[in-house]
A and B are shown apart, each in its own frame.
Chain A
């Protein structure tokens, strides 16, 4: 047997070297997965537009490490279970160097173990559930996490809106929503507020009149809905239809043009917390908004788009510092990110591989999203 091995080994080495030499001229393949169709498509489409802009800009200035960057996109159709399948496809067929996505925590939680096992760095875009990066040391994110967002919302409700009695509606099979409600409940009660009603719904539900009737009867001043915009918009409509006049507010999953398209007049005056606002006056943000509007027909980037763009920049930066596409070196470079300028401000990846930044509160006014204030709990 030793003779066979000694004959095979050089052949294997030369094959691997050949492959490596070939790879040097090939583009760097980076995967992106997300919900590009289906009920959560607003998130995916918004993020992808930011990612595409980052890739085009990188390629226009000579690429990364002297190679072009290539974006491979896979759609999970907003369906549970699809993200893990896509992750396996990225790992075994496309052999990507790193992955951007997903948007929803549920989707990221499905895909993260696959990438962790394959040791491929994944940078989640808007997945705010803490468990996402706990999946392993190859999983990162460019956004704040739910405990932070929940605390920010509690502070906003208590200090800015001066609320005392709030009702909470949670989407029970949405990891993000459950986490956000939990933290809000704790922080708001700790600050002296009262949760007068704790209602639940399932993903994809359309009738919330029963929950809202109970909330109204409980005498709530305001309603926090911690789920996604599709349900959020219907909740606003039905709440107004039942004569509820207090403010409604939500987390970053409320952000999307569909909130206004479905909610219409009922979402006027509702608030949500998010990661970035195009109205922020920093030069980096304004430069990005300008380039983005030139690329996408004058459209104004929302927070998800901004995070998609930043996720790509963060990855390119790590590739440059690592000087290689080798997965361990790339992971270490990502983990060592410190004060990377990005667009929304200095991004530092902490020990739990999260990026923390202040939360922006936005209000819906005349069908547009207006910046209210930045909250740092």
Chain B
């Protein structure tokens, strides 16, 4: 029982990070109907910004940790806006495939720039937050796992609030529903889309830092695998749907952890995760929470 609870906790903390990255995929898809493959590399940049800020703030302090988190989110929000302005805006209205290929190009560009500037050697990531381990009924809970779950939950609620309770959120949903009609009623589409990218990239940066806190070795290709998993999580939950992305991330993290913990099946963990995806999509083609007609942001 203790082992089961421990694995469940391991799975939830892994899934929370997938969920955080998945939110960024799903939001950009919701508004623009395209997959921003550069998202996982913004995640990497976020971790590196956190690394550099982390060298200038004291380790093991709450304010230092949140400063690095906020700094990385701000830098990546700007990066997201710049990427959209330079790479995607000109392609708006062109076939989806063109934008998709451009996104892959931006992704490779970021990875190679990362290797050029940061070097390909993995670096140890500083311990930004105070680290303690709690033992609850035989289950070991590290404070970093709690930070991951807490920050993900907080950002998820903030996102729900922004999308459903604010003016810009209403504008985002309007653009998502019908861009032309939205601009006819006076919504500045450029601003809305820039904001979407800023928000999504900030979430990626937060994901990057939380990931690096739990797995403190960072390199320019660190985003590739979690990015892929998060994309799967977004599709699993119903791409374009915010609670769906969170649910998909959690499910994927938990399934992967339990498969990993069983000695006989652990080499097939990716195969099993993807098989689960295929089966769910066979029965619910729009994902767990996705509906074809629902409003999507």
Contacts of B274 in A (CB 8 A): none
Task: Tell me whether A210 and B122 are in contact in the complex, defined as CB-CB below 8 angstroms, given that A202-B267, A230-B217, A234-B217 are known contacts.
Answer: no
Assess whether B66 is interfacial by the CB under 8 Å rule.
no
Taking a contact as CB atoms under 8 Å apart, the answer to whether B3 and A39 are in contact is no
Taking a contact as CB atoms under 8 Å apart, the answer to whether A210 and B260 are in contact is yes
Taking a contact as CB atoms under 8 Å apart, the answer to whether B262 and A214 are in contact is yes
Task: Name the interface size band of chain B.
Answer: 20 to 34
Taking a contact as CB atoms under 8 Å apart, the answer to whether B121 and A200 are in contact is no
List the one stretch of A236-244, A299-307, A328-336 in contact with chain B.
Answer: A236-244
Tell which of B11, B215, B258 has the most Cβ of chain A within 10 Å: B215
Taking a contact as CB atoms under 8 Å apart, the answer to whether B120 and A213 are in contact is no
Query: Which residues of chain B (65-121) have a CB below 8 Å from chain A?
Result: 115, 119-121
Task: Tell me whether A38 and B257 are in contact in the complex, defined as CB-CB below 8 angstroms, given that A201-B266, A207-B215 are known contacts.
Answer: no
- Interface residues, chain B, with chain A CB atoms under 8 Å away: 2-3, 6-7, 10-11, 14, 115, 119-122, 124, 133, 135, 140, 142, 214-217, 219, 225, 256-263, 266-267, 270
Task: Tell me whether A37 and B121 are in contact in the complex, defined as CB-CB below 8 angstroms, given that A199-B263, A201-B266, A211-B260 are known contacts.
Answer: yes
Contacts of A264 in B (CB 8 A): 124
Taking a contact as CB atoms under 8 Å apart, the answer to whether A210 and B2 are in contact is no
By secondary structure, the B interface counts as: helix
Contacts of B260 in A (CB 8 A): 201, 207, 210-211
Query: Which residues of chain A (333-357) have a CB below 8 Å from chain B?
Result: none
Task: Tell me whether A39 and B122 are in contact in the complex, defined as CB-CB below 8 angstroms, given that A199-B266, A242-B6 are known contacts.
Answer: yes
B267 CB to closest chain A CB, in angstroms?
Answer: 5
Contacts of A42 in B (CB 8 A): 121
Taking a contact as CB atoms under 8 Å apart, the answer to whether B261 and A37 are in contact is no
Complex Cα distance, B121 from A202, in Å, reads 19
Taking a contact as CB atoms under 8 Å apart, the answer to whether A241 and B142 are in contact is yes
Complex Cα distance, B260 from A213, in Å, reads 10
Complex Cα distance, B220 from A204, in Å, reads 13
Contacts of A202 in B (CB 8 A): 267, 270
B81 CB to closest chain A CB, in angstroms?
Answer: 29
Tell which of B6, B219, B225, B266 has the most Cβ of chain A within 10 Å: B266
* B7 touches which of A213, A243, A262 (Cβ 8 Å): A213
